[in-house]
Amino acid sequence: MIRPLLWLPLAALSFTSASAQEPSLEEQARALHALAGGTYCEPFEGGYVPDDDYLQWTITYQPSWSEDAEEEEVILIRLFCGAGAYNIQHAYYIHREYEGLTPLAFATPSIDAVYDGEDGIDGELESVTTAGMSTSLILVNSDYDPETQTITSFSKWRGIGDASSSGTWAFKEGEFVLIRYDVDASYDGEINPETIIDYGQN
């Protein structure tokens, strides 16, 4: 039989031990990243890993559905996925109080580029149109700006950067929504993107 006065310290010790075993948010995110990123984000021995392979930001916002609503908080997480000669890939995750930790998918337009003649991308660019929307779990050369609460990406289609796509996703009501997307599909040696989506900042 355990005496009452001895029971309290033992209970506290048991609780501390259980709490110490609970994984941190970073540990949870890395475990989820290993699953959600699949083989595409799987690191290989001796491969490049930047010092900032894990970053997180806390975002507090006032829900618009009621002036009396309490402020809500989400945690945005960026994890390194991989790198090539001129592009670095990241995956993003978001932690909410009720949903917990989930991968963050980004709306991305599907692009149709039409070139003149039979030279393919080496021919003159005739038109760029959107064929619909898809989502992506990976962003290229991306970053988050806490001041504007936007995530931006800039994907080079080849090293000199004369063909590319770039997007901007703004934080609104606990989500990141696509507000701008630019495409340079010309492969003409010049940097001359055109905006194909622009919802503005409002």
Does position 201 have pLDDT exceeding 90, yes or no?
A: no
pLDDT digits (tens, 9 = 90+) for 73-124: 999 999 999 998 889 999 999 999 889 999 999 999 999 999 987 778 888 8
Q: What are the pLDDT digits (tens) for 120-169?
A: 888 889 989 898 999 999 999 999 999 999 999 999 999 898 999 999 99
pLDDT recorded at residue 6: 41
Asked whether residue 8 carries a pLDDT value surpassing 70, the answer given is no
Tokens (6 digits) for 173 = 């009501």
Cβ atoms of 110 and 131 closer than 8 Å: yes
Query: Dihedral sign, CA of 113, 201, 79, 16?
Result: negative
Q: How many Å apart are CA 90 and CA 109, to the nearest integer? A: 19
Between CA 182 and CA 166 the distance in angstroms is: 5
CA 48 from chain centre, in angstroms, equals 20
pLDDT tens digits for 35-82?
998 888 888 777 888 899 999 999 999 888 777 888 999 999 999 999
Whether 88 and 153 have beta carbons less than 8 Å apart is answered as no
